[in-house]
Structures are given as structure tokens and as C-alpha cells.
Amino acid sequence: YEKFLEIAIDTGDGILEVEGEKNDLLDIIQEANMDGVRHLKASDPLSRYIWCFIIIVFVFLALIQIYYQIMLFYSGPVATNIEAQYPSAIAFPTVALCNNNQFRYDSIFFNINPAPKWLSYITGARILQRRARPSNGTLKSLAGKPRNVFEEIIERTWDMDAVRFLRNAAHWKSRMILGCTWPNGTSCRLSDFKPVWTLTGLCWAINTDPMNPLEVVGSGKF
């Protein structure tokens, strides 16, 4: 199945014939390390036909893949045509200020014990001076004397719901937030902070309106 090339050379003294092996297309492809090409020279015809079919199918599939990759490249050339757009203003994030101590503390005196104690608002004079609702003493915790200060609080806050009670006991906005400056240098208003209930109690958040967020044009410290 091999092919040979005959070359005649005139040396002056006579003609010299040289016979060498001829390199055809299959030899060139085989030298390029293309798998399966060597089987095209097999002595079995069935083996040659099978390998010829396999090579033609996979070459055809490779051409299809190359075509689709070229079309994909030209349809969206993101790697060669990038246009960066920077907004003129961005929405300022919502910032919530919380205190790990959920209740504020005051130094007060009690008639129960004349010694000063650091207690929270819920046991402060503002609550203890409220008028209690008349009671017939049917509740077991309120029936006996003497009562502790927390039982008096329950008795004197009979008209308060939980939200009002906890909000009155939490930190005041005016005392908790001492100052605030926007990135553009202007001062925040105290009314910009809205109450937000979280797992840590009552927090004060700024920029809480998602439909009308405050926008900034640069960075700065809050």
C-alpha cells in the first residue's frame, strides 16, 4: 500500500535513478498527531471505512462548534467592547443606631428605700408617681404587702400597651444621637431618624423610606 517516488538525476557520466518514499496527505496528517489517521492505512477495508467515517463525523462537529463560537462572539462582544457607566448619584444606605442597653438609666430615690439606686425608667419616679387603678386585691401578686417596685409598676401602668411602655422606657432620640453629618457636609435633622423595632429593642434609623431614598454624590463620613 506504500507509494514510492522515482527520481532520475543526470550526473554527467550517466543517469542515476533514486527511489524514495513518497509522503502523501495521510502521512502529513498522521505526523500532526491526529488520532485515528494511521488506521486509514490498515489492511482491513472495514477498519479503514469505520475510521474514515468517525474522523469525518468529528471534523464536521468541530466545524459546527467553531461556527457557533464565532457567531456567539460577534453577537455579544463583551470581551472587546466594554462601556462603563457611572451614576451621577447613588442611594444612601439605611443606617440604624441601637443601644445594647435597651432601657435608659437615671439616679433616683425611692420612698421604699431612701438609699439611691441606679435603676431604669421602668422603675423610675415617672412611673411610680402615676395614679394606680383602684384594685380590690384579687390578683395574687398585688394582694399582699409589702410589694416590690416592679409590682407597683405593673399596677400603675395598667392603661399602657407594650409598645408605649417600652418606647417610654427606651433611650430618647435627642439624648442618644448627639450629632450627624451628611457626606455633603450638611447636618442631619433629628426628625430624619425614625423608630425601628429590632431584637435589640428600639433603634433609630435614618433613610427608611424605600420609595424616596436620600441620595449622595460622593463619599464621606456619617
Q: Would the pTM count as exceeding 0.75? A: no
Average pLDDT of span 173-180:
82
Task: Please state, in angstroms and rounded to a whole number, the distance separating the CA atoms of residues 22 and 30.
Answer: 14
Residue 122, C-alpha cell as written in the block: 421602668
Kindly state the percentage of the chain with pLDDT values over 90.
4
- C-alpha distances (whole Å) from 11 to each of 5, 7, 87 are 19, 12, 84
pLDDT recorded at residue 65: 95
pLDDT of residue 135 exceeding 70? no
pLDDT of residue 199 exceeding 70? yes
For the chain, count helices (H), then strands (E).
7, 9
pLDDT digits (tens, 9 = 90+) for 83-125: 778 888 888 888 888 877 666 555 333 444 443 444 455 555 6
More confident residue, 24 or 48: 48
Q: Average pLDDT of the chain?
A: 70
CB of 198 closer than 8 Å to CB of 98 = yes
Contacts of 90 (CB under 8 A, 6+ apart): 215, 216, 217
DSSP H helical ranges for 103-181: 125-128, 140-143, 149-156, 162-169, 173-176
Residue 58, C-alpha cell as written in the block: 468529528
Average pLDDT of span 51-66:
88
